[in-house]
Amino acid sequence: MRKSDVIGLVLLAFAIGCRIFTPLADFYAAHCYPPISAALSFCASAVPFSLEEAVVIGIVIAFVAVLVRAIRRKSGFLRWLGTTARIALWLVVWLNLGWACNYFRTPLYDRLGIEKAPYDEQAFTSFLAAYTEDLNATAGSAQAWDKESLEADIKDFYSNYVSTFGYTGFHRWQHVKTPLLNPLYSAVGVLGFMGPFFCESQLNRELLDEQYPFTLAHELAHLAGVTREAEANYWAYVYCRRSGSAAVRYSGHLDLLSYVAASAKANLSEESYSQWRASLSDKVNEDYAYSHEYWNERRVGIIDRIQQWMMDRFLKSNGVSQGAGDYYGVIEMLMTMEGHGR
């Protein structure tokens, strides 16, 4: 074994410890992740393109190169296995210490000392009425964005407000990027993602104007250390809902509509649900239908299904029992946080 192997195994032990010992994960989230994310994103800020994709491409090339060299030199299975294991070791360490250890910290409700609110018909009906009223009122207010100003405003929201809930703030060099392989993300319906290797937030360059503020706020939530998709949706919606801009509020309401509709269909009678759907304005229905058609035209079925399966497996392997279905937990979270005056 090399000295680097020992260091890698120690770091791997720390990452595993975070998975099984919550106080250690809390220590990581509070004291390790902020400087690590700052340093990684500072390195990434030196180039205008996505380093996350460069790392993934480099890893694939490294695995293939090791295999080819082993075959050409006839170095034997054990030597090839050892080299491959070293690459895998550092990949796992980098992934977890760069960001993924945040999955295992004390959940937000426990940190706040609150319990998940049970479903309350009156509270949900009140939320639905207020949500629908503002959704209809802001419909048609979408605009082309001054992206730098919008990003700065969202970063201020996280640094000055969301950070008080145990998350990290932002630095001037942390800026959102667009993917190198953008058509691939459109093919699987990915509007944005958070890269764990260099703490880069990425946004699909084909985003509709109506989707941009909510999606940007969602991805910046992950950069702040939020891991659960429902919670990232929650903070993105809170930002949009509080905005003085009708167009930003509309982005939040429209992007939440699919989750609201799913919750309404599950909890309301068929008649009440039909009445609610009928109360949505023509403009809302038009924008909602266009968004679905817009992305469906870009999807590639088999690639999309593979990505969904991989995302579901990744989330479940990191303690998110709902897997990809976690996104839909945002309505339950809204009800809980509002019920406790948050």
**What is the DSSP annotation of 130-188?**
HHHHHHHHHTT------HHHHHHHHHHHHHHTGGGGT-----TT---B--TTHHHHHHT
> What is residue 102's predicted lDDT score, i.e. its pLDDT?
96
The string of pLDDT tens digits covering residues 21-45 is 999 999 999 999 999 999 999 999 9
Residues 317 and 199 in one domain: yes
CB atoms within 10 A of CB 320: 19
Residues 142 and 278 in one domain: yes
Is 80 exceeded by the pLDDT of residue 80? Answer: no
Query: Domain residues for 86?
Result: 3-104
In one-letter notation, the amino acid at residue 265 is K
User: Which is more confidently placed, 73 or 283?
Assistant: 283
The string of pLDDT tens digits covering residues 307-328 is 888 888 888 888 888 888 888 8
Residues 88 and 165 in one domain: no
Give the residue from 86, 104, 122 where a domain finishes: 104
Tell me the percentage of the chain whose pLDDT exceeds 90. 70
Question: For the chain, how many structural domains are there in total?
Answer: 2
Residues 180 and 235 in one domain: yes
Give the residue from 60, 86, 104 where a domain finishes: 104
Give the residue from 85, 104, 123 where a domain finishes: 104
Mean pLDDT of all residues in 150-174 = 95
> What is residue 23's predicted lDDT score, i.e. its pLDDT?
97
Is 80 exceeded by the pLDDT of residue 74? Answer: no
**What is the DSSP annotation of 52-69?**
HHHHHHHHHHHHHHHHHH
Residues 264 and 162 in one domain: yes
Residues 125 and 93 in one domain: no
Residues 58 and 129 in one domain: no
Indicate the average pLDDT of the chain.
92
For residue 172, what are its two tokens? Answer: 């001037």
> What is residue 283's predicted lDDT score, i.e. its pLDDT?
95
Predicted TM-score (pTM) of the model is 0.93
Residues 285 and 318 in one domain: yes
Residues 280 and 276: their CA atoms lie apart, in Å, by 7
Residues 224 and 329 in one domain: yes
Residues 170 and 202 in one domain: yes
The string of pLDDT tens digits covering residues 206-255 is 999 999 999 999 999 999 999 999 999 999 999 999 999 999 999 999 99
The string of pLDDT tens digits covering residues 268-312 is 999 999 999 999 999 999 999 999 999 999 988 888 888 888 888
Residues 99 and 242 in one domain: no
Residues 62 and 117 in one domain: no
